[in-house]
Amino acid sequence: MSGKEKTENDEKGVLQKVVAGEIAFRNIDKVVEDVDSAIAIRRNALEEITGTRFENIQHYTLDAEAATKRNIENMIGAVQIPLGIAGPLKINGEFAQGDFYLPLATTEGALVASANRGCSAISSSGGTNVRIFQDVMTRAPVFKLADVVQVKVFIDWINMPEIFAQMKEKAEETTRFGKLLAVEPYVTGNTVYLRFVFDTKDAMGMNMVTIATEAVTHFIQDEFGAIPVSLSGNMCIDKKPAAINTILGRGKTVIADTIIPAKIVSEKLKCNPKTMADVNYRKNLLGSARAGALGFNAHAANIVAALFLACGQDAAHVVEGSTAITTIEVTSNGDLYCSVTLPALPVGTVGGGTGLGTQKDCLNLLGVHGPGEPSGSNSKKFAEIVAAGVLAGEISLIAAQAAGHLARAHAELGR
């Protein structure tokens, strides 16, 4: 029997054992030599067990070896999402400067056309100014203490400068890049949450701050005796819509604005500044308030999600990344002022999904793949680009609603 035949025989044997439940899906990699074969066996076993026939998910180009090390478990293939571009978008940021083409991964027809129109309106008006006002990532373990007396003693201890210095040392022993900036205590009865605030440079930072915070909780346990109930106590707060992130900020707090001359509003956006301001007021501000929304915008999530999927960001962070506020005013000379404020945009250009091939291509298109020089500058540049893209999306969609074009656009491009 040739080596190839032997391998095929072995693989058939593994497949039969997986179908029979003798080898778990997660253990196939341990008995098969190469990752792609393990993936094929897992997929074929799933077909047999469920009676499904896959026709598409087996076709992928990504480096499965790398992906299964840090991005996915029980891999069976890959899902493709169409990728379009919008732009050029002229951005006058502190980190992003010049004309950018935005890679947008989406299945929503009309979205790229809309973003493209917004980019065109902004760029022909001189671009968008973008600034970052804060850049932090948080992790908040929760501790249970005996009573409020002990809670006060604990918080007084945590707030001592020499204790902060020691916590900082412990945290920063775990990372070359992360810096502990602050520890913010919150109390409910005998429960204490310590919100650890970090600068994570070019990493989005959730793995980094989780590892660093755990090291500090060991120090707290050893030195004070407070035992953490959970490393994450939801005052962080990660991947859940929450006022604390919109108020204090988490990830990048970034604002983009622009002034679009009334002539361009009329020619490019088919409406006028006054109508757009009224739509924004009654829809994004009053409507969102009446609905109890945390996002006061039209569809920030659309642009954030499309850029996140294209660029290897954690898709669940669309939750906080899209809690934006959109403002529109008519300027004293009748032009359109529009801004978007994104209080909690978690993004990174190293780590997570940023190393996967297609995602890397998209980050390279924006000139932000990998570590920046100085550290942190690439993720800040990316955050400015995301905010600028959100602004483009808001301008076009609000214009479409002001002009009564929303349903028509989606009927034409989206079905």
Ligand X SMILES: NC(=O)C1=CN([C@@H]2O[C@H](COP(=O)(O)OP(=O)(O)OC[C@H]3O[C@@H](n4cnc5c(N)ncnc54)[C@H](OP(=O)(O)O)[C@@H]3O)[C@@H](O)[C@H]2O)C=CC1
Q: Kindly list the catalytic residues.
A: 108, 314, 410
For ligand X, which residue of 176, 292, 332, 415 counts as binding (CB under 6 A)? 176
What is the rounded distance in angstroms from the CA atom of residue 176 to the CA atom of residue 347?
19
Residues that bind ligand HMG (CB under 6 A): 108, 110-111, 113-114, 116-117, 120, 270, 298-299, 302, 396-397, 400, 405-406, 409, 413
Q: Is 145 exposed, middle or buried (0-12, 13-18, 19+ CB in 10 A)?
A: buried
% helix, strand, coil for the chain, step of 5: 45, 20, 30
CB 313 within 8 A of CB 223: no
For ligand X, which residue of 204, 303, 363, 400 counts as binding (CB under 6 A)? 204
Torsion, CA 400, CA 406, CA 411, CA 415, rounded to 10: 100
| DSSP conformational letter for 285 | I
238 scored as a contact of ligand X (CB under 6 A)? yes
x/- site string to ligand X, residues 261 to 300, per CB under 6 A?
Answer: ----------------------------------------
x/- site string to ligand X, residues 357 to 376, per CB under 6 A?
Answer: --------------x---x-
**CA distances (Å), origin 405, targets 110, 269, 271, 411, 413:** 11, 10, 10, 10, 12
* Least separation in angstroms between CB 381 and ligand HMG: 24
Please, what is the end-to-end C-alpha distance for the chain in angstroms?
Answer: 55
CB nearer to ligand X: give 124 or 207. 207
The interface region with ligand X, picked from 4-12, 118-126, 289-297, 346-354 by CB under 6 A, is 346-354
Which residue, among 206, 213, 225, 189, has the nearest Cα to 346 in the 3D structure?
A: 206
207 scored as a contact of ligand X (CB under 6 A)? yes
Please report where in the chains the tokens 């499965």 appear, as a residue.
64
CB nearer to ligand X: give 37 or 217. 217
326 scored as a contact of ligand X (CB under 6 A)? no
Please provide the DSSP assignment of 125-148 as one string: TT-EEEEEEEEEEEE--EEE-SSH
The strand pairing partners of 68, in sequence order, are none
* Least separation in angstroms between CB 363 and ligand X: 13
What is the rounded distance in angstroms from the CA atom of residue 38 to the CA atom of residue 54?
16
Using only C-alpha atoms, the chain has a radius of gyration, in whole angstroms, of 25
CB nearer to ligand HMG: give 32 or 400. 400
* Least separation in angstroms between CB 171 and ligand X: 11
178 scored as a contact of ligand X (CB under 6 A)? yes
For ligand X, which residue of 45, 192, 301, 350 counts as binding (CB under 6 A)? 350
x/- site string to ligand X, residues 296 to 325, per CB under 6 A?
Answer: ------------------x-----------
177 binds, among ligand X, ligand HMG, none (CB under 5 to 8 A by kind): ligand X
CB nearer to ligand X: give 72 or 413. 72
Task: Give the binding site for ligand X (CB under 6 A).
Answer: 175-178, 200-208, 210, 238, 314, 348, 350-352, 371, 375
